[in-house]
């Protein structure tokens, strides 16, 4: 029996935080959308909505507010009111305080499951959305006028989705990107991030810590309940040991590496880990295909910018597609996809290079580099202008902010289309 055929304007492969945000941004558009996701949002195996946390910049919060989902997230957001950066075992440090820069906060920290629940609860009411979940793509063809995607459901049944545009939002190992022949390059940092929630004797004061150690950066991010999320980059061998060692030993090692600035660590939750690498696609669009989020670029978590960058991808793509439909243009045509690529190029390049250089700068152990690095940190700490410039990174590194990040809906006003 032939597979059922569903025809839509946009088919999004990947219903994690970036893909679901794009689908929600298109909710009020004159577009039919299909969303293909391999796991149910509340499934234990769902990798996008597990117990890990994500740092949300001010621009991303504005997007969620514009999409109407921020109220469902706000109660579980840990607010970042200060940032403390230090070089372990050396004299360099810098501190940023939001109030000193006329900001309420630099952003917040949210459990991934909270973000996922809010997005998918809102998607349940999207009128022109068809979901295939759990399902996976098994064959894809990009034609001149349409693309065709065959998906297989968990029960083995198959369906065909035809769309003017395919969106790859399926992560750094994007199957859709590979299937359509867009190559990517991976630079392995030789590190594995160990992630866990840790409680200290005293609740935090809203400070996020980034401490650079000889084996990799160690971040403590404030959570809503007064505890911290720890993201600790270690060698693969050390990371494997850290995941399995007794809790008391893990806390003792963490205390030794981080110090006492946050107080005594007294409890640690379930530990997880994932390898750290920089993955970049050679091209961010192809025939009837566009890449967003980690499918286009997957970053080291050192500056907490990966999801924020991907969310701006989604917000900008939604805007470009809405404008193209209003203009009567082919939403999956080269001209529209090139418009999107141009709108995102500066931000993508700036954030990717900033993150990569930061990782490599603090791993550089050549004679004299450490002293120069620490001097630069101290000079930064003395410069209000430099701090103000860095604080704006949470809104985007460069280029025009998407409408959603400016408090507008995705349609904007007459004459505001991206050019």
pLDDT band for 414, please (50, 70, 90 cuts). Answer: very low
Is the pLDDT at 240 greater than 60, yes or no? yes
- Give me the domain span that covers residue 353: 4-54+69-74+110-186+279-371
Q: CA–CA distance from 343 to each of 95, 284, 313, 316, 382 (Å)?
A: 32, 12, 9, 8, 34
CATH number of 9's domain: 3.50.50.60
Q: What is the pLDDT of residues 298-318, one digit of tens each?
A: 998 887 889 999 999 999 999
Does 20 reside within a domain?
Answer: yes
Is the pLDDT at 238 greater than 70, yes or no? yes
Q: What is the pLDDT of residues 42-77, one digit of tens each?
A: 655 555 445 689 999 999 999 999 999 999 999 999
Is the pLDDT at 94 greater than 60, yes or no? yes
Rounded-to-integer distance, Cα 268 and Cα 308, Å:
27
pLDDT band for 89, please (50, 70, 90 cuts). Answer: low
Does 402 reside within a domain?
Answer: no
Q: What is the pLDDT of residue 43?
A: 55
Please, is 227 exposed, middle or buried when counting C-beta atoms within 10 Å of its C-beta (0-12, 13-18, 19+)?
Answer: buried
Does 132 reside within a domain?
Answer: yes
Is the pLDDT at 389 greater than 90, yes or no? no
Is the pLDDT at 419 greater than 80, yes or no? no
The whole-number average pLDDT for the span 127-156 is 91
Among 81-95, 155-169, 302-316, the range scoring the smallest mean pLDDT is 81-95
Total structural domains within the chain? 1
Does 121 reside within a domain?
Answer: yes
Q: What is the pLDDT of residue 245?
A: 95
pLDDT band for 323, please (50, 70, 90 cuts). Answer: very high
Does 354 reside within a domain?
Answer: yes
Q: What is the pLDDT of residue 2?
A: 54
Does 211 reside within a domain?
Answer: no
The whole-number average pLDDT for the span 154-176 is 93
Higher pLDDT, 181 or 227: 227
Does 239 reside within a domain?
Answer: no
Q: What is the pLDDT of residue 49?
A: 44
> DSSP per residue over 270-314, as a string?
--EEEEEEEEEES-SEETTEEE-GGGTEE--GGGS-HHHHHHHHH
Does 229 reside within a domain?
Answer: no
């Amino acid at each position: 029996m032939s597979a059922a055929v569903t025809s839509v304007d946009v088919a999004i492969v990947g219903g994690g935080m970036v893909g679901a945000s794009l689908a929600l941004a298109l909710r009020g558009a004159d577009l039919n959308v299909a969303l293909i996701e391999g796991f149910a949002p509340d499934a234990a195996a769902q990798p996008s909505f597990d117990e890990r946390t994500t740092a949300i910049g001010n621009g991303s919060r504005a997007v969620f507010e514009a999409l109407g989902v921020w109220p469902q997230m706000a109660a579980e957001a840990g607010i970042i009111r200060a940032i403390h950066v230090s070089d372990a075992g050396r004299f360099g440090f810098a501190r940023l305080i939001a109030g000193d820069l006329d900001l309420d906060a630099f952003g917040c920290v949210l459990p991934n499951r909270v973000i996922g629940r809010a997005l998918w609860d809102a998607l349940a009411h999207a009128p022109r959305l068809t979901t295939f979940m759990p399902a996976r793509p098994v064959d894809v063809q990009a034609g001149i006028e349409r693309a065709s995607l065959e998906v297989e459901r968990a029960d083995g049944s198959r369906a065909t989705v035809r769309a003017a545009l395919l969106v790859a939002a399926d992560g750094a190992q994007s199957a859709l990107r590979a299937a359509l022949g867009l190559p990517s390059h991976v630079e392995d940092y030789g590190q594995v991030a160990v992630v866990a929630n840790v409680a200290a004797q005293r609740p935090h004061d809203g400070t996020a810590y980034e401490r650079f150690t000889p084996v990799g950066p160690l971040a403590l991010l404030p959570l809503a309940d007064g505890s911290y999320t720890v993201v600790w980059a270690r060698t693969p061998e050390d990371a494997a040991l850290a995941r399995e060692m007794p809790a008391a030993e893990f806390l003792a090692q963490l205390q030794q590496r981080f110090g006492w600035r946050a107080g005594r660590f007294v409890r640690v939750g379930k530990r997880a880990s994932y390898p750290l690498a920089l993955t970049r696609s050679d091209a961010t669009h192809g025939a009837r295909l566009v890449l967003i989020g980690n499918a286009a670029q997957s970053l080291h978590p050192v500056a907490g910018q990966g999801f924020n960058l991907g969310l701006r991808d989604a917000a900008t793509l939604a805007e470009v597609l809405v404008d193209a439909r209003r203009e009567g243009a082919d939403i999956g045509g080269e001209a529209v996809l090139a418009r999107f690529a141009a709108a995102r190029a500066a931000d993508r390049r700036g954030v990717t290079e900033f993150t990569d250089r930061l990782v490599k700068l603090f791993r550089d152990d050549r004679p004299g580099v450490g002293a120069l690095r620490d001097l630069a940190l101290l000079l930064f700490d003395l410069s209000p202008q430099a701090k103000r410039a860095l604080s704006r990174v949470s809104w985007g590194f460069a280029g025009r902010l998407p409408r959603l990040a400016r408090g507008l809906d995705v349609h904007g006003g007459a004459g505001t289309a991206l050019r």
